[in-house]
Chain A
């Protein structure tokens, strides 16, 4: 394996080098770096042009300019990295670090969400092949896939930001809005659950009533402006998640696993009380520490309950622990919402990754940057979800029709065990490649999203560099995205070995 990785690294390095040469030459020939000066009628235009020519080395042949860049990058191996400067005199290394940071923040959540939602939608639509739900998912997948990002972003800003902000000023849901939401829920949930028409009709009616009443009650309570969640709800949600995860992965018949998960949920909720002081005004480090602690404790609980199903119990406990932590954070954020609204009466901005000069406490600042993450994340997720759900569906369908799945069924295994244990894992193999590629692509490919939402990420750096025919930022962009692509590919290969026993050596 090590030899394989090393060989892959060696080849990737050569590929990166050759590509860097190509990109460099293409970039410096992409336009006229003096264009803005040529149309200027400043008196010392000539000397300004001469200065920039000297600064950017425009009078040098391309290979000398490339060599200068390459030797600067070569310095990274000896600890004196120099990625050059932009036309505006900014240090490209610092710029890249900042841009990469902001892009990662943007892309990570979107990728995770897309994986979860996309794969879930894919599996369900494969299981419910040729039903209304399947057609619905297919339709939406193609719709999202062909969505022009800039257009979707403008629409999202209009409805997700401007109209939402107008609405939250009163936080009052009109009856047509409530009925609309209830109808949508009533259409989706029976389709997912399936069953004969009568059952669907009942589930649909129940869902409709439930959602409508719920929204109405929330409205009466002015919940949207002054939301409240509470410890009881945290416990209830965590327990619900524990049961759901167990039901999906191990089956409720496995009592040991179920008890492990339930214990985790209870312990997690109790720990909320214990750490309440820290959680109210934490630092990021404390928060991460607590999260790690939560996972460790969850795994320990799983191990203690586990018995014959130790491994599974540990896994499910850990997942429950993560979900419980999430629910706790959600509760804290909900509690801070009213205060946040007071600081920022229009909670979702159309531009920027945070509100300038925002003066809230820790959680209010989290809410502020979280709100700013919502719209771009939706855009990026929609596009990725589309392809993931299609790939998962087809690969799942293929696996489901294989002989060994029929064998598993004829052994008398439950449908859940067949799907999650036998089919799903094998269906994942092709998806890994796509996810890895996609993540690498998103780092550099979120150009339009970043621009439209005013995030200064890798895409913006690339675009500005190219606009001004300034090779240094473009090359820095290439270095990061190129390396990410290579690394992600390798990770996919390693994940293959893990997922597919046939190529494990």
Chain B
């Protein structure tokens, strides 16, 4: 067992008595205390509660009671999930005076019921409005593969904590790409399931028509275990058939057009490799993708802005400066524009479903390149400078609009982490898992540990060097 062991291996070791859940929890908390001051993935540690929960699992084992599939596996949650007794911050100062949550969010409760041990809450873009996790109140979360770079967002803490080997599983939310983007930039698996498949009850809302709950893992089998743990009773689990899914015939298409615009060379290489590995048709076009992305952008701004209007009116100065103005502009957007965006969604969804009549999975990039440096505000697309915070979701946002399941899959490459989106028709998570499992079996999909073990000393030296050169 080491810091990069899978949740499945930890649970197996706990079940067979090779290790106690308390010792796993202690080791996890110790590693977080050592490394997180520089990584800045966590905003809270639940040490007492985690050790008590782990002790309960060890007690159950000693009494011969059955243990859950995630018994003793540590996990952490984006700090917009309710945790009983803890104030749900959603990355904000505004929420700091709010009453503690009375009970765990449904997804958190389901993970605990499966035996997973909750160790802490994780950093994010304020109110999930951004793709960078450079939070003005809690600081930036650093990318474990290069601490001078962003982890992506808005679930940046969730991705970084998993990538750095602090926890094997974490929960996040995805409205426009907030699981897929940090998963891609940190080199871990991220699942945005079908809209509504995993419960959003107890998750602080951002855009109620687009919000999804999902998760991160370093191993595809763990992603399946976590997904299964979150399902409603009666839903079909993935884990028992993951091996079989990897051998299933698949019809795959690589998205072109909008999804091929502005890609960096490393991303093109990754897309080519995945396309070839899945024997995919090339250049599948969704003609409405750009318009869908624009409609999603307006819909997000309007719903997010209207949700926050009372606080924007009273205390806009307490918002992250990068977020308050965006929310207020969204709140001012005419309702007719919002309603037109909702109507547009139906048309684009029909278009995408038509593509799924021909393909089991569609493949798209997660981002146009690797993680940008912390503090860099713009990137270039087709010769034009555009905001990173607002536009890293170029390729994820149209897909959110459809509510389709997507696995952001880390693809082996010689540089910084890059991922692809494996997209399936709504309700067909099994097909997305099938493609990811095939890529994993071929050695192409893999979550590589950071080349250099993340450490505060190394990070400090790197930042000093960078500072000295600036």
Report if A and B associate in a common complex.
no
